[in-house]
Structure formats: C-alpha cells, structure tokens
Structure 1
Amino acid sequence: MRLQRLLASLALVVLAVSQCAGATAVSQTSTCDPNKLTVYKVMVQTAWSREVFPKQYPEWRPPAQWSKVVGRSHNPSFLLFRMGDTASEGLKQFAEIGKTEVLDAQSQGEGGVFDEFNAPPITQGVGETEAEFFVDGNHSRVSLMSRVVPSPDWFIGIDSFDLCVEGKWVESVVLEVDPLDAGTDNGFTFTSPNWPTIPKKPVSRITAQSPDHPANSFYYPDVQEHPPIATFHILKVKEYELAHVFSPTPQRSSGTKRYTPDDMANAHGSNPRRSRPRSDEGDNEVRNTLRSETNPSPAATTNEEAGKNVFLKNIVKKYKKFRMNRKGRKMGSGRKLMPRRKSPRRRFRAPRDCRVSDWSEWSSCSKTCGIGEQIRTRTIKHQSRNGGRPCPTLQETKWCGSSRDCDHKYFSW
C-alpha cells in the first residue's frame, strides 16, 4: 500500500510538472522572436470625395486633402492616442494645426518607440501614400495617424495594432477607418474657426449619426453609417535574422549563413579589404627551389654542374624581371602590363530630412471689412533625400478682421 501511494504521488508530481511546462511553452510562443527584424509596408488609401461625402465638401481655402502620416512602431508602454482617453498635447497640436514638434520630441528608442516613420501627405481628398517600418518581437505594435485638412481637430488613425499573433507575424491586414475627433476643438464644420474645448473631451469616433448636430459636416441622418473614409493596408515585406546580418564571424560549416564584414562590403560593390589575388605560396615554392639549386653543395664542381648553375641563375633573373613586370613595367617590344582596374566604390548617403526656413510675418488681412484671412509662409532650404523626413506645411492661414471694422452702420434712423 505504501508503494502504491508513493507511485500515485509521483504520478501527480509528474503531471503537475508537465502542465507547468506546457503553460510555459505557450507563454514563450505567444510573442514573436525578438532576434528577428521584420519589415512592413503600410499603404494608406483615402476615399474623401464629393460623391461619397457631399455635405460641405471643401474645394478651396484649402481644398480637401490629408496631412503627412505620422507613425510609430512600439511596445505596449507607448501611446500615440487612445479611443476614450483625452488627447495629449502632441495629438492636440497635430490634429488642430498639423504640427509634430511635440510628437517628434520623443525620438526613436525612447519611451517604448522602436521605429519612427512618416508617409508623404496626400494633396487631395482621394489618393494614396505609403511608408515602410520595422518591428521586432519586443516592439510588435504599430500606431499611425493623418490629419483631415481642413478640419477643427479631426484625423484618421490606428491605435496600437499588434502585428504579432500567436507567435507569428501577420502577413497582411486591411483596416477600414472612420474619421476621429480629438476632442480639443468645438468646431462642427471643416472650416470652422478655432474654438477650444475646455475641458478637453475624450477621443471619439465620428459617424453618420454622431455627433447628431445638423451643422456637423459628417452628419448624414438618412443613412445608418457612411462608407469608410480611408483604408490602411499593412503588408509584411521581409524578415531578417539578427545573426545572419550582423554576425562578424566567418561562415561556418553548418547550414546557417553568417556574413562577415567583407561579405557585406562585397554585396554593396565596395570592399576596402579586397586586394589583388596573389599566389605567394606558389612563388615561395619556386623561389625556394631555385635558391636550393643555385647554391649547390661543394661536391658540385664539374663543368656540367657549373653550366647548370649559370642556367639556373639566368632563370632567377628572368623570374625577378617577370615579378617586376607584373607591377606594370615594360615587357619587351614596348608592351606594358596594365595595372588592375579598381571597381568603382559606391558612396553611402545617409538620410537627410527636409529643412525649411522660419515663418514669415503674417500678411495683412485679406478684407478690411468683415472676416478675412491672414497668411504666413516659409520656404524649403533643401529637400529630403534617401528616406528622410518629408517637408512640413509651407503655408498657414488664420482668421482676421471683424464686422466691427466696417464704416457703415446697420441701424441709421
């Protein structure tokens, strides 16, 4: 009986250990491998047209368009925006006037941010833009947004979408979105003046029924919901194994390919370590053979051996002359061995962000009587290149004037 109880207890212990091991395996495979770097492409397609959204469709000052796309890949600790939460100062400035200085202050590698990327703006209501970004097992989420222009504080975006599902990277996903309200401005129409919301309201979704105000530019009481105003298509491009690319060890006999710095340089058409092929081993062998035969033993004193020594000395002279000719010196009858042509080296150009000048002074009001506009501009100092940040907005407009400035009086009796 005691032995049976001991065996039963041992079976329970083994079962518990196996269950714990199974739970650990599940938890370990629930996240993607942090040593794998994955490249994704996001394509943003917008559908803001007069045919689909006819109400108050903006056609001038400015026409319907979209700002640049601001994106981050990150871990769960980072937050670009969150539905139901109040907007941060960075989101407020971006959603209202398109500025990203506050958002850019938290640079790559800080606060859970892994990759910081942008896509060019769309200069009309219907169009598309795209960008590529990196993720890894520790930073598998992506957030991005683009501002509706013109609008009080409206934008479209994706909040912390996880691209790692059950330990595997998502191959492709299509996300349809509606416009969002940052909750920092009270305007109802696309071109409404700046009326701050105090206190700020939570970030919310704009639908055909909400907000249910007749002045709302997206309010369509005759339909239950309007079509999506934009679509985000996220596609996996490539996966990189960390050891494959960055390991400096030479190639091993195993099936895993490991690249050395020379291999990486050759792949880009330039290798500072690369030199002309040499056959030093063969040269040394010939040189040692000739040296041994041109220094015979004292016993070699016959005329035949003396003639052989002279012959070998001539061979040594010709060999030395040949070695010099290999360096480009003249070979008989005026011929010349040309030196080996060096392969052209590619110059690596680092990304360069667009730089713009400071804002000009505000222009005079466009109207001396009534509500007009003031404009200020800035110019491009140099364009972005090699994947640098695109140029920001080059013109800003604000309201000016008042009906009080008019000379006539409404009531004259």
Structure 2
Amino acid sequence: MTLLAFFAPVYLLLGWCGCLSEGRECGGSSLGVYELKVETGWSREAFPKQYPEWRPPAQWSKVVGRSHGTSFHLFRVGEAATEGLKKFAELGETAAFDQLTQGGDGGVLDSFSAPPITQGVGVTQTQFFVDGNHSRVSLVSRIVPSPDWFIGVDSFDLCADGQWIESVVLEVDPLDAGTDNGFTFTSPNWPSIPPKPISRITSQNPSHPANSFYYPDVDQHPPIATLYLAKVREYQLAQVFSPPAPSDTPTRYTSAELTRPSSRPSPSVRPRPDRVEDREQEMERQNEVKNEVENEVSNSILPGRDMTVAETDSTTTPTPKPTLLNSLVNRYKKKYRKNRKGRKSGARRKLGLRRAGRRRPRVPRDCRVTEWGEWSPCSKTCGIGEQMRTRAVLRPSRRGGRPCPPLKETKWCGSSRDCDHRYFDW
C-alpha cells in the first residue's frame, strides 16, 4: 500500500478544514523544528471488545521516530518487518532501532523519542529537526498489551510544493507487524511462519471473530490515535557557498582589452624590486643599456688596436680602452636614471639605436585557491550545530583578474538523540 493511499482520508480531511497551510521555502539551507503531539483514544467506550483492564492494563510504549531523507524507511506497509521492528512490536525493545542512524543526504538527520503513555487515553509530545534534504518523518509506538501491534507513520513529507507545512493532523489506525499469530491483546507468543507483511488492522480485517479489533457492525474504527505536527521554529545557515572550482584553462582576452590604458602600468610609478614583474623589467632595462654600451664601444675602438684616439685642440693622446669603457658606462647610467624619472633622453636618438622589441602588456591574473580542507567537528554535542571547512589563497587576483571565491563553507550537523527532554526549553 502506498503512503498516499494510507493517508488518503487524512488528506481529504485536511483539504476540507484548511489545516494544511503554506509555509516558507524548505531548501537545503533551511532547518525547521517541529513539535509532535500524540493523542491516544484507546478507551473502553471506543473499543469495548476484550478491553484489557489489568496484567497489564491498556497503555502505550514510548514513541520512537526519525527525521530522514528519501532512502531511509523505519517500516513499510506491505513489506516484511525488519528485525528491529519485530523486537519493538513484540517486546518493546529499541536497541536495534538505535542503530538506524544512517548519514548522508538521504539518511537520518534526527533521532527522537517521546515518553510512554501509561493508560489507554493520554497525550505525549516531543520535538525534532528537519531540513531540506531530510524533510520526512517516521515514527512508531507499540500497543500494550498486544502480540505485535503498533501505530506508526511511514515517511510523511513535511515539505510540500517547496514549502514547509505549518501544521498537519494525522489520524492513524492500528498496524500488524506480521511476526506473531495472536488475535487478542493477551494472546501468547505464537510466531508467524513464514512472517507476513505489515498490514493495516481495520474493523473488518482480519475477519476472524476472535480478533480483538474485529467490529463487523461498523465500517471503520474511531481513530485510536491522532498525531499533531506543527512547525515551531525555522533557521537559515549563516553562510552557504557553492563556489565554482578554479579553472585550469587560462582566461582569454582580446587585443583591445590588453591595450587598454587601465591595464598598462603608469610611467610615474617607480618599480618595486620586491615584486617579480618589476624585477624582470629592471633586468630587461639593464640588459638594454649593456647592449647599447657594447655597441658604442665596438664602434669607437679602431680595428686591430687596443687603444682609441681622443682628439683635442692641441695634442693627440691615446686613451686606454678600460677608461673609455667606464666613461661610456657612467654616461649611459646617468641618462638611464633620467629616463626612469620620465625625462626624455637624446642618447638613443644620437646613437640611432632602437629597442630590440616592445615590452609585452601585463595581462590580468586570476585568483587561485587550494582544495577544501576537512570538515571541522560539530559545534554542538547535543542538538543541531554547524560544521565548517576552509581553503586558502594560493595566488591573489591582480590587474582586474577573477577574484577569489569564498574561503569558508558551513553545513548542518549533530542530532538531539542524546539530549534530555529539556533541550528544547529555549
């Protein structure tokens, strides 16, 4: 039997009374707190047949529940009971249920329970968490005494059409776990071989006269229990990131973008030798000066001689080669310093020299970051907290390149499973 068919009368009731109201968006970053109230109606007036008065009297076990995603099921109507459900429905043991805490987007987010009801008619309540990836709730409570009967909800989704349901009322019938053959509340433990699938107990089914819930004169039972679910709080993550991964493909620019005035360094800015690009430019300028000096010297030295001739008004005096070389170097250094300050130098025009090549434009540089680190421990040991992971900048953005992506990411973590009942007393 599908979930929709199982709760069809409930949806009709909600549509008529307007109890299923629209809430806020239930995205992955949204965390909701719901209150569950279980109100039981197992009384002698409503169910007079074989009503248990003693050893033990009519009562209910504690409520065991999970909020989870699509891949988890506490039980399924029409399928065989798990070992955990078998022990719970027959004996009230929950140890096997405690192991059902699968993680991940489709697993369990929160494990919760509510105190038992010590009589047939009573109320118990608790609260639990849901989020956009774990918006479904499942719960069970054992009927005491009974062979293997219980009430429960299988994967009811609190997110409808992208909105949190503000409140909903579910009227449930008894369920048979199919692991015991007993027909009455106090029947002995006769195991079903082979086990039968989980089924719904109605006034007509099972149709055996000894069945304690068999009432052939009525179409359906009065509700043996009613569940009230209401959203009491909603939170949003402080920071949620989905940054794109740094691309290994270099960014392409057009020639117009590369020759924009904003992309070229200002001539009035003095180079800083502590930057890699400036050091490269400095070395390039020094090499240019060195080449110019060598050309000048080679043109001034006579072939086959180690001395140059410097003509004066009255005498001709030979000048050593090192002396001439030093004077030329000093002269070019002086003019080079003037040129760096933005002044025009006529030395290049006098010598008729031209630079070997133009300086390449400095292109923008994108930011690069490291891979994500490990998730930090959960910020809370009791209840829902946050986990954080970070990454670092390998190379910052320069000259209008792509900026750095976010360096921190957070997500929900934890559970209220190990908390006492005062955890929600905010």
TM-score by length of 2: 0.51
Equivalent residue, structure 2, for 1:37: 31
**d(CA) in 1 for partners of 2:416, 2:176:** 34
Give the conservation status (yes or no) of the 8 Å contact 2:112–2:416: no
Question: 1-side partners of 2:92 and 2:58: how far apart?
Answer: 14
Residue of structure 1 equivalent to 2:87: 93
Whole-Å separation in 1 of the counterparts to 2:190 and 2:59: 22
Task: Kindly provide the amino acid, as one letter, of the partner of residue 60 in structure 1.
Answer: W
Deviation by residue 1:269-289 (Cα, 9 ceiling, x = unmatched): xxxxxxxxxxxxxxxxxxxxx
Distance 1:37 1:157 in 2: 24
Q: What secondary structure does 2:141 align onto? A: strand
Contact preservation (8 Å) 2:111, 2:416: no
Q: How far apart, in 2, do the equivalents of 1:47 and 1:109 lie?
A: 35
Whole-Å separation in 1 of the counterparts to 2:421 and 2:41: 29
Amino acid at match of 1:88: T
The RMSD of aligned alpha carbons is: 2.5
Is contact 1:140-1:164 (8 Å) kept? yes
TM-fit CA distance, 1:109? 3.3
Residues 161-207 of structure 1 show CA distances to partners (whole Å, capped at 9, x for unaligned) of 00001110000000000000000000000000000001110100000
Aligned to 1:152: 147
- The separation in 2 between residues aligned to 1:173 and 1:167, in whole angstroms, is 16
Contact 2:128 2:416 in 1 (8 A): no
**Match of 1:243, SS?**
coil
Q: Select the residue among 151, 162, 166 that pairs with 2:161.
A: 166
Query: Which position in structure 2 is the counterpart of 1:65?
Result: 59
Count of residues in Structure 1 that have an aligned counterpart in Structure 2? 227
Helix, strand or coil: the match of 1:46?
A: strand
How far the C-alpha of 1:32 sits from its partner, in A, is 2.6
Q: State the distance in 2 between where 1:66 and 1:115 align.
A: 22
Measured at CA, do residues 87 and 351 of structure 1 come closer, stay the same or move farther in structure 2, by a change above 3 Å? closer
CA contact (8 A) 2:57 2:145 kept: yes
Distance 2:140 2:110 in 1: 15
Aligned to 1:237, the other structure's residue is in SS state strand
Matches within 5 A, 1:129-208: 129-208=124-203
Match of 1:127 among 122, 127, 142: 122
Amino acid at match of 1:164: C
Pairing of 1:310-321 with structure 2 (within 5 A) = none
Whose radius of gyration is greater, 1 or 2? 2
- 1:387 shift after superposition: 4.7
Q: CA 1:226 to 1:385, structure 2 compared with 1: closer, same or farther past 3 Å? A: closer
After superposition, the Cα gap between the structure-2 partners of 1:156 and 1:352, relative to the gap in structure 1 and judged at 3 Å, is closer
Q: How does 1:291-306 map to 2 (within 5 A)?
A: none
Residue 226 of structure 1 deviates from its aligned partner by 1.3
Structure 2 Cα separation of the partners of residues 78 and 243 of structure 1? 28
Q: Cα deviations across residues 345-395 of structure 1 (Å, max 9, x unaligned)?
A: xxxxx98969xxxxxxxxxxxxxxxxxxxxxxxxxxxxx66459xxxxxxx
Work out the CA distance in 1 between the residues paired with 2:149 and 2:49: 16
**Alignment partner of 1:63: what SS?**
coil
Output the amino acid matched with 1:237: V
The 3 A distance-change label for structure 1 pair 90 and 387 is farther
CA 1:99–1:61: 2 relative to 1, 3 Å = same
1:35/1:242 contact within 8 Å kept: yes
For 1:179, the aligned partner's letter is P
* C-alpha distance in 2 between matches for 1:218 and 1:68: 22
Q: Which residue of 1 aligns with 2:69?
A: 75
Aligned to 1:257: none
Contact 2:175–2:199 (Cα < 8 Å) also in 1: yes
Which residue in the other structure is 1:106 paired with?
Answer: 100
Q: What one-letter code is carried by the residue in structure 2 that aligns with 1:192?
A: S
2:259 equivalent in structure 1? none
Segments of 4+ moved more than 2 angstroms = 106-111, 350-354, 384-388
Are the counterparts in 2 of residues 65 and 124 from structure 1 also a CA contact under 8 Å?
Answer: yes
Given residue 154 of structure 1, which amino acid in structure 2 is its aligned partner?
W
> Aligned with 1:219: secondary structure?
coil
Which structure is higher in RCO with an 8 Å CA cutoff and minimum separation 6? Answer: 2
Aligned to 1:9: none
Tell me the amino acid that sits aligned with residue 117 of structure 1.
F
- Report deviation, 1:224: 1.2
Residues 353 and 73 of structure 1: CA distance in aligned 2, closer, same or farther (over 3 Å): closer
Alpha-carbon contact 1:156-1:179 (below 8 Å) kept: yes
Q: Distance in 1 between matches of 2:417 and 2:169?
A: 31
Counterpart of 2:214 (choices 192, 216, 219) is 219
Query: Is the contact made by 2:114 and 2:126 (CA closer than 8 Å) also made in structure 1?
Result: yes
Gaps of 5+ in 2: 1-23, 241-378, 380-414
1: CA distance between counterparts of 2:233 and 2:239?
Answer: 14
Mapped to 1, the partners of 2:197 and 2:171 lie a distance apart of 21
Letter of the 1:238 counterpart: R
8 Å contact 1:352–1:385 — kept in the other structure?
no
Distance 1:34 1:73 in 2: 14
* 1:239 counterpart SS class: strand
**Map 1:211-290 → 2, pairs under 5 A:** 211-243=206-238
Query: What fraction of aligned residue pairs are identical, expressed as a percent?
Result: 70
CA distance in structure 1 between the partners assigned to 2:72 and 2:417 by the alignment: 26
Aligned to 1:7: none
Other structure's SS at 1:102 match:
helix
Aligned mates of 2:98, 2:74 — CA distance in 1: 11
* Cα separation, 2, equivalents of 1:32 and 1:352: 23
> Could you give the per-residue CA deviations for residues 63-113 of structure 1, whole angstroms, max 9, x where no partner exists?
000000000000010010111000000000000000010110123636701
Look up the match of 2:248.
Answer: none
**5+ residue gaps, structure 1:** 1-29, 246-263, 265-349, 355-383, 389-413
